[in-house]
Structure 1
Amino acid sequence: MPTAAQTLAWGEVWGQEDAVRMLQAAASDPAQLTHAWLITGPPGSGRSTLAYAFAAALIAEPGDEHAVRQVLARTHPDLTALRTEQVVIRIEEARQLVERAYYSPSLGRYRVIIVEDADRMAERTSNVLLKALEEPPERTVWILCAPSDADLLPTIRSRVRTVRLHEPEVADVARLIVQRTGVDPVVAEQSARHAQRHIGMAQRLATDADARGRRDETLRAVLAVRGVGDAVEVAARIVQVATDDAKALTVERDEAERSSLLRTVGVPEGGAVPPAVRAQLNALADEQKRRATRSLRDGIDRVLTDLQSLFRDVVMLQFGREEGVINSELLADLRALAEFWPPARTILVLDEIAVTRRNVERNAAPTLALESLLVAVATGRTST
């Protein structure tokens, strides 16, 4: 029988039994433990959840439920975690991680360093980690998370042990969402399908009717694009919706952070801000702007992921496959488009979506990038 601490540590990890067995064995047997791990898997597969469960098993003494709870709450002194909400991980952040890696554990068995978004490290930033990965302290364990090992430099990949997660089935995700939220099973299945088995996104869609409505409205608007004028209008609408979503997610948090900073330095609500504090407020504002930029780009990428599913459905229908269609609610429109377009045009659009995703990730202006994509949708040719 697993102990309460073990159940707590691994209980949130879902659908990854092979990975759990491997990491449980490593946590309990030093002979199977390496100093650096890479957990890979598609978005929503539970990379971060598994990383923190592993960290809890490494840090906590057997049966120490309190320490497990601290790790899972990200508050244990022997855990250092980095989850960027910016476009990239800054080199200064990587240097701070390396510095922390050389501290001995203060309370637990190991010191654990988690990098949740290791794929967002530029080459210079990755190189900062190399020395720590090459010559690790005896009781420090690194856990990196990324969608694929190809997202990291070969020099990083050669110094880690990789744990690959698999994508769950739609039906399994739907059952999990019903268990977690109690939503109608039909809504859960639709949300799991539309989220393409991304657990977090499926849960958001299942519990947010507005989010489901915005997704449906966006896909229908793209299907209705017939010319350059439509492309410009729909691109602007998509960016505005993504901007509004980003603001809704960040504005309350931004104000709470600002208020907390002012309280910490002793400035009463509505009081004058001393010159010495303004630099801290400006630094916080800059950090929040970078986070807002990341949130907007993530929102645009989610829209592009939805569009990929739409035109993937079209090309499947063009090749005579209806089973596995993601957007079955739009099946009549998809069939009409599949009959009207040649497959080559659909594949061109899918290629353009992939290019657009890369361009947005590389800081292209979202509106211009989407306009270019939708021109390809409208005309069947690239705008370059």
Structure 2
Amino acid sequence: MPGVFDRLAGQAEAVAELTAAATAARLRVPGQGWDESDARMVHAWLFTGPPGSGRSVAAMAFAAALQCEDPEVVGCGECRACHTVLAGTHADVHLLAPQGVNILLKDVKETIHRAASRPGTGRWQIVVVEEADRLTEQSGNALLKVVEEPPSRTVFLLCSPTTDPMDIMVTLRSRSRNVALRQPNAAAVEQALLVNGEIDPDMARWAASVSSGHVGRARWLATDEATRERREVVLKLPMVMHNPSRAFPLADQLVKTAEQEAIARNTESDEREVEELRTALGAGGTGKGTAAAGRGASGAVKELERAQKSRRTRSTRDSLDLALVDLAGFYRDALMASIGASDVSAVHADKAGEAARLGGHYPAASILKAIEAVQDCRRAIEVNVKPRFAVSAMVGAIRAALS
């Protein structure tokens, strides 16, 4: 059974630092606060790095190492604590992530309240904040207050999809130790996919070679046929861009696929959340007060459904953004072919022939404008332009650039 840090791809320096910190944490006397007797372990950490570098994986692996029950191995990967942390079911590890576009104040307050109590089964109460750059000013200030005066047995692990920690509010950043993760190479990604022995080696090698160092993307490509099919659709688009009767419908299909994936990925959890909320509020019960409980449940369910809709919107954008990254990568390969940079590794090695044909047909300046159009589309979707409008405008801009 691999240790918890074996899940990280190509991050030897970060693993060494986190292992040393988890080892030092075992020497601390519970309940005596945060002193500076051993600087290896601090109460707040900030994991930064480019998309796919493994920020959340690093944070959860570190959380597992801190809770690990093995007396000799830090982060053994075999004990109950390691298993439950990595599965997301450990009672003393709390995940704070955007339910919609941002992390809201009410979610921060609820998490902080739970994390301020004494650990129930583990050594620590641990708060993992995914996409910490999505904290609003109010929610960020609420988190800052407790990070400034942390409970003696609470650790905060913040993750942000950036290569620059300056993207995090300065006061939170100044109170956290930064762990900078790098973009792993294809060999490291392949090794990470093979850790549990669940992925075919040939599939792992191919997925690693076309994922641009994005471990999560490589895993989806290796394990999900729908993701592989979507990639094929995306990479057809540049080859039919000259034909509007094919290009615009294909672009519209990308958006529809992203929306369908968001619904499919969230439907089960959405239904479970609604049912759990109704039960918690007494819906379906009998006796005095059930009518009032039913009315209260109705309002709470509507609020939950609004939050779920926001989450599906975020999921749709994330799925579509991955498709646009693939598209930009194809045009990048075409650009390299256009300027004769044969020594540069291709993003989509399995589509090198198509990219070379495109690069031989259009001048480099035009292909560069196509890449800019894709990036403009990504930015437009991020600021809430409707995906269909943004993608349609992108197709129009690329066609104009290549005409």
Is there any run of 5+ residues in structure 2 with no aligned partner, and where? 26-37, 73-78, 286-290
Please tell me the residue identity of whatever aligns with 1:267: G
- Kept in 1, the 8 Å contact 2:193–2:204? The answer is yes
Equivalent position of 1:45 in the other structure: 53
- CA–CA distance in 1 between the matches of 2:90 and 2:192? 29
- CA offsets per residue over residues 61-85 of structure 1, 9 Å max, x none? 6539334444333333432221334
Pick from 305, 327, 330 the counterpart of residue 307 of structure 1.
327
Pick from 350, 354, 358 the counterpart of residue 333 of structure 1.
354
Cα RMSD after superposing both structures: 2.9
Q: How far is 1:380 from its partner? A: 0.5
- CA–CA distance in 2 between the matches of 1:71 and 1:328? 37
Q: Secondary structure at the match of 2:375?
A: helix
- Kept in 2, the 8 Å contact 1:231–1:378? The answer is no
Equivalent position of 2:62 in the other structure: 54
Q: How far is 1:346 from its partner? A: 1.8
Q: How far is 1:363 from its partner? A: 1.2
Equivalent position of 1:267 in the other structure: 284
Pick from 267, 274, 278 the counterpart of residue 258 of structure 1.
274
Distance 1:319 1:63, change over 3 A: same
Equivalent position of 1:205 in the other structure: 221
Say yes or no: does 1:188 pair with 2:204: yes
Pick from 11, 15, 18 the counterpart of residue 20 of structure 1.
15
- CA offsets per residue over residues 92-125 of structure 1, 9 Å max, x none? 2223334445434444433221102212223443
Equivalent position of 2:304 in the other structure: 284
Q: How far is 1:369 from its partner? A: 0.8
What's the TM-score, normalizing by structure 2? 0.83
Q: How far is 1:303 from its partner? A: 0.9
User: How many residues are treated as equivalent by the alignment?
Assistant: 374
Please tell me the residue identity of whatever aligns with 1:86: G
Distance 1:79 1:328, change over 3 A: closer
Distance 1:61 1:246, change over 3 A: closer
- CA offsets per residue over residues 278-314 of structure 1, 9 Å max, x none? 1232122122211111111111111111111111111
Equivalent position of 1:157 in the other structure: 173
Q: Secondary structure at the match of 1:29?
A: helix
Say yes or no: does 1:133 pair with 2:147: yes
Equivalent position of 2:88 in the other structure: 74
- CA–CA distance in 2 between the matches of 1:283 and 1:51? 30
Q: Secondary structure at the match of 2:384?
A: coil
Is there any run of 5+ residues in structure 1 with no aligned partner, and where? none
Choose 36-45 or 273-282, whichever is displaced more. 273-282
Please tell me the residue identity of whatever aligns with 1:238: L
What's the TM-score, normalizing by structure 1? 0.86
Please tell me the residue identity of whatever aligns with 2:203: V
Equivalent position of 1:298 in the other structure: 318
Pick from 89, 107, 113 the counterpart of residue 103 of structure 2.
89
Q: How far is 1:378 from its partner? A: 0.6
Please tell me the residue identity of whatever aligns with 2:146: A
Q: Secondary structure at the match of 1:276?
A: helix
Pick from 154, 157, 161 the counterpart of residue 147 of structure 1.
161
After TM superposition, the structure 1 = structure 2 runs for residues 166-245 of structure 1, keeping only pairs within 5 Å, are 166-178=182-194, 180=196, 183-226=199-242, 231-245=247-261
Please tell me the residue identity of whatever aligns with 1:378: R
- CA–CA distance in 2 between the matches of 1:317 and 1:150? 36
- Kept in 1, the 8 Å contact 2:69–2:80? The answer is no
Distance 1:119 1:223, change over 3 A: farther
- Kept in 2, the 8 Å contact 1:59–1:111? The answer is no
- Kept in 2, the 8 Å contact 1:360–1:366? The answer is yes
Q: Percent identity?
A: 34
Say yes or no: does 1:344 pair with 2:365: yes
Q: Secondary structure at the match of 2:242?
A: coil
Distance 1:105 1:184, change over 3 A: closer
- CA–CA distance in 1 between the matches of 2:166 and 2:329? 23
Q: How far is 1:262 from its partner? A: 4.2
- Kept in 2, the 8 Å contact 1:194–1:306? The answer is no
- CA–CA distance in 2 between the matches of 1:76 and 1:190? 34
Please tell me the residue identity of whatever aligns with 2:41: L
Distance 1:25 1:266, change over 3 A: same
Q: Secondary structure at the match of 1:363?
A: coil
After TM superposition, the structure 1 = structure 2 runs for residues 102-117 of structure 1, keeping only pairs within 5 Å, are 102-117=116-131
- CA offsets per residue over residues 245-277 of structure 1, 9 Å max, x none? 112212233233334444553539xxx993332
Equivalent position of 1:35 in the other structure: 43
Choose 90-99 or 290-299, whichever is displaced more. 90-99
Choose 240-249 or 201-210, whichever is displaced more. 201-210
- CA–CA distance in 2 between the matches of 1:227 and 1:349? 16
Pick from 129, 135, 140 the counterpart of residue 121 of structure 1.
135
Distance 1:337 1:167, change over 3 A: same
Q: How far is 1:162 from its partner? A: 0.6
Choose 365-374 or 283-292, whichever is displaced more. 283-292
- Kept in 2, the 8 Å contact 1:175–1:185? The answer is no
- Kept in 2, the 8 Å contact 1:8–1:68? The answer is no
Say yes or no: does 1:372 pair with 2:358: no
- CA–CA distance in 2 between the matches of 1:57 and 1:210? 34
- Kept in 1, the 8 Å contact 2:258–2:320? The answer is yes
- Kept in 2, the 8 Å contact 1:59–1:112? The answer is no
Choose 355-364 or 273-282, whichever is displaced more. 273-282
Q: Secondary structure at the match of 1:142?
A: strand
Q: Secondary structure at the match of 1:380?
A: helix
